[in-house]
């Protein structure tokens, strides 16, 4: 009902009217219309305030991490290279969605070119898959650092970290490539209105007037292959890490080590839980309010990107010390 009312209000923006949607075939429409957060249109300006704040913190924080690691030779190690990869992925993920989202909230600029929509879709899911791989690599780094500390520098050398990074990028890029290819292949003869604030894969594919089970089953398989296996590997790593922590001789050493790993674990949970919720809602959550679903989908793009530099920056003493050294020079 909300979608229909919106169509009547902005009919002059649509390349094809809803009244002709059953008879007009517009395979690969020239534009899609993003609704933002359906049902909360009147609150878009207010919603944009925390979104813009989170995006600003994410951009500033992740660029700060990249700058500090580049400027400080002592931070040129495996853990910090992985942290830089995470910072870059956060910047790409948030920047691929937030500017367009804010243009919807502030200027009612809802149109997005069909090719731009598919490009946005690819980057969102590709970088999300890469981030999942980075979390596995970071869990591996923590496992080696705590369970085999004497061999850490020989196991996770710079070439090994480079190969891990390359594997993470290739895995994400190749597995997600069929998403936009299949989406472009489907005919869209119902509507070009996406009840979302960005071009999420299933939100776009559901608009097709064809049997899209190939896209649905493929995305489901990728989710289990990427996210499912990654979660299993991370869980196995942290089980071994916790066992090693409990075997440490002193309470102080246990608390210190657990504090470091606890922050990593919190970041991982904050990243995976909203993703899993959004993924399952698209397929099985017909009774979930659409505005709540879209809000959660935005949360998994913005909140982790904001939290990562804060948590890793605050919990990593070397980054903290280097940042404190830079602050007085900035103030002079």
**What tens-digit pLDDT sequence spans the chain (332 residues)?**
444 443 434 433 333 333 343 334 455 678 999 999 988 888 899 999 999 999 999 999 999 999 988 888 888 888 889 999 999 999 999 999 999 999 999 999 999 999 999 999 999 999 999 999 999 999 898 889 888 888 888 888 889 999 999 999 999 999 999 999 999 999 888 788 999 999 999 889 989 988 899 998 999 899 888 888 999 999 898 888 888 888 777 777 777 777 667 777 777 877 887 777 777 776 666 677 788 888 888 888 888 899 888 887 766 767 777 777 766 554 44
Q: Are 218 and 174 in contact (CB under 8 A)?
A: no
Query: Looking at residue 91, what is its pLDDT?
Result: 95
pLDDT for the residue 66: 92
Residue 280: predicted pLDDT: 72
Residue-level pLDDT at 284: 65
Distance CA 281, CA 289 (A): 10
d(CA 274, CA 17): 35
pLDDT at 113 (0 to 100): 94
| Residue 216 · residue 282 · CB < 8 Å | no
Give burial (CB, 10 Å; 0-12/13-18/19+) of 5. Answer: exposed
pTM for the whole thing? Answer: 0.83
What does the pLDDT read at residue 27?
Answer: 56
CB 85 within 8 A of CB 165: yes
pLDDT at 87: 94
Residue with tokens 């590709």: 126
DSSP state of 34: E
Q: Which residues contact 76 (CB under 8 A, 6 or more apart)?
A: 69
Rounded CA gap, 312 and 324, in Å?
15
Question: Distance between CA 179 and CA 173 in Å, rounded?
Answer: 11
- Between CA 326 and CA 30 the distance in angstroms is 49
């Amino acid at each position: 009902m909300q979608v229909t009312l919106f169509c009547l209000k902005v009919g002059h923006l649509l390349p094809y009217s809803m009244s002709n949607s059953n008879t007009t075939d517009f395979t690969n429409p020239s534009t899609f219309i993003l609704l933002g957060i359906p049902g909360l249109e009147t609150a878009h300006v207010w919603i944009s305030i925390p979104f813009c704040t989170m995006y600003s913190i994410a951009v500033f924080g992740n660029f700060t991490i990249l700058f500090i690691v580049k400027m400080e030779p002592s931070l040129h190690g495996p853990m910090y290279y992985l942290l830089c990869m995470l910072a870059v992925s956060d910047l790409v993920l948030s920047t691929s969605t937030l500017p367009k989202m804010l243009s919807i909230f502030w200027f009612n600029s809802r149109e997005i070119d069909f090719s731009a929509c598919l490009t946005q879709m690819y980057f969102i899911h590709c970088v999300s898959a890469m981030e999942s791989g980075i979390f596995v690599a970071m869990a591996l780094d923590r496992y080696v650092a705590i369970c085999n500390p004497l061999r850490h520098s020989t196991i996770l050398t710079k070439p090994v970290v480079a190969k891990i990074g390359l594997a993470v990028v290739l895995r994400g890029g190749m597995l997600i490539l069929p998403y936009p290819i299949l989406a472009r292949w489907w005919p869209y003869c119902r509507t070009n209105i996406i009840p979302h604030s960005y071009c999420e894969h299933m939100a776009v594919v559901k608009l097709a007037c064809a049997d899209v089970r190939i896209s649905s089953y493929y995305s489901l398989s990728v989710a289990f292959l990427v996210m499912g296996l990654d979660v299993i590997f991370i869980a196995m790593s942290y089980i071994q890490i916790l066992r090693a922590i409990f075997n440490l001789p002193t309470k102080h050493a246990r608390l210190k080590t657990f504090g470091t790993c606890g922050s990593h674990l919190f970041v991982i949970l904050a990243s995976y839980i909203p993703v899993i919720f959004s993924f399952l809602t698209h397929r099985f959550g017909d009774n979930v309010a659409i505005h709540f679903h879209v809000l959660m989908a935005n949360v998994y793009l913005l909140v982790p990107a904001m939290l990562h530099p804060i948590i890793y920056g605050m919990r990593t003493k070397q980054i903290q010390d280097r940042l404190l050294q830079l602050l007085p020079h900035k103030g002079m």
